[in-house]
Amino acid sequence: MYTYFKFFILAASVLLWGCGSSSQKTEKTNNSRVEKPAKTDHIDLPEKGEDILAVSSFADTVLYIPLETTPQSLIRKIFQIQLIGDKILLDCNDKLLLYSQSGKFIRQIGQKGNGPGEYNYVCNSVARGDTIYISPTNKQTIIKYLLNGDFVGEKLLPGHFRMSWFDMTPDGEFVSYADLARGKLDVLDKNLSKINQLIINHNAPVSTPPTIYRNMYDYSLQNGSERRLLFTDYMSDTIWDISKGRKKVGYVLNMGDKILPEKYRFERFGFDHKAWMKAAAPYQKIKMVETPDYLFLFQKGWTTEKILNTIYIYNRADNTIKRYDTPYIYDDLVGKRNLNVLYSSHDCLMAVVNPFELKPELEKEQVEGQTGKDAPSPAWLKQMSKVKEDDNPILVIIHPKVN
């Protein structure tokens, strides 16, 4: 059950397999309401760093959770993972699967179809409390389910608006990224009525059909938490705090000439993908995960297939930052192997391990007879011995330290 990631070209009214963008109708915006914090964290990204990022440098707990494999829960790919109390919600694009914290399959949330409460594919989903909000590909609606599987209702979005990729503020307001190609974020209240529009990029094109180039990495790492919602469009040094439905500067980075210039935006190349790939190759973008004590910055190229090339860890308490020139976090506590972190939820970093790749690695390590500090823990080896090569992925949850 291999979890894979590929690049997608998202154009015009299509944001993710048919997920539409918002209407081009001009609306009154509230762009002047940019709150300035008393103190902005200016982060100077180091030019040099270390080659290995050991998980023990920032975490003390690493959990491996084999996800139960049943005919109803076969996983082909995972787009998003959300931790909800003692439950785990997986967005697999064609279905939403709910697991216990031990990895036991509980149920599928909703069904495929065009009827009430049904979806063809899932554009995006956000869980708040025991409620799951779903944006389907085949409707201009938001579908609501409870964790127990009950269908709550389905609400039509206003006008020609379609909220594909979205998030929610700590206060329960919706923030839609559907108009991001035009440099805008739309804020909706709990009743899905538009209450604000934020201009994130004043230089974004507004008169031509927008095209936005994104890959799975852009969607899987969530920027929100129970405390605040952060956002960046990769086109500036600023990380915005949009927790209250308004713009407030959260962090300022010194990306410098690593930022993709406006003239190299994908839509300015007239669908000439090859030319754009060549022009954008030197530039970088950063995703972030904020926990009470750390800010994790994950950097990758716009066009490189390698998921990451650099990871920064900013210690919020002592205002220090370290750079690691590696795409992986090395688990030196339990499994003694590299982890490709692609997900985050509730102050945790997460990765998935493919049994099809893991089992041959373990057999090789057993033959080589790894011992001492390089050997995985006996308890972990016993746990992995029960996993079959064709089983669902193994979820890895990293709990950063709380100082």
The confidence score (pLDDT) of residue 3 equals 40
Residue found by looking up tokens 């538009």 in the block: 194
- pLDDT > 90: percent of the chain: 59
pLDDT in tens, 47-60: 999 999 999 999 99
Mean pLDDT of the chain: 84
Residue 168 tokens read as 């929610």
pLDDT in tens, 78-93: 999 999 999 999 999 9
The confidence score (pLDDT) of residue 213 equals 58
pLDDT in tens, 383-403: 999 999 999 999 999 999 987
19 Rama class: left (phi>0) / alpha (psi -120 to 50) / beta: beta
The confidence score (pLDDT) of residue 83 equals 95
Residue 271 tokens read as 């669908």
Cα–Cα distances in angstroms (integers) from residue 232 to residues 158, 282, 297, in the given order: 26, 19, 12
Rounded to a whole number of angstroms, the distance between the first and last alpha carbons of the chain is 38
- Picking from 184-188, 236-240, 297-301, 306-310, which range would have the lowest pLDDT averaged per residue? 306-310
The confidence score (pLDDT) of residue 10 equals 37
Cβ-contact 126, 166 below 8 angstroms = yes
The confidence score (pLDDT) of residue 122 equals 92
**What fold is seen in the domain 7-22+38-400?**
Neuraminidase (2.120.10)
Per DSSP bridges, beta strands 166-168 and 151-156 are: unpaired
Beta strands across the sheet bearing 348-353: 59-66, 394-400, 348-353, 343-345
Residue 380 tokens read as 């972990």
Cβ-contact 334, 380 below 8 angstroms = yes
DSSP state of 292: S
Residues facing residue 66 across a β-bridge: 394
Element holding 358 (H helix, E strand): helix 355-368
Cβ-contact 187, 193 below 8 angstroms = no
Cβ-contact 66, 386 below 8 angstroms = yes
Cβ-contact 143, 157 below 8 angstroms = no
pLDDT higher than 70, residue 224: no
Global model pTM greater than 0.85: yes
pLDDT confidence tier of residue 252, bands split at 50, 70 and 90:
very high
What's the rounded mean pLDDT across residues 6-20?
A: 37
Residue found by looking up tokens 């969530």 in the block: 222
Cα–Cα distances in angstroms (integers) from residue 262 to residues 162, 182, 203, in the given order: 26, 12, 7
Residues facing residue 198 across a β-bridge: 185
DSSP letter for each residue of 366-388: HHHT--GGGSPPHHHHHHHHT--
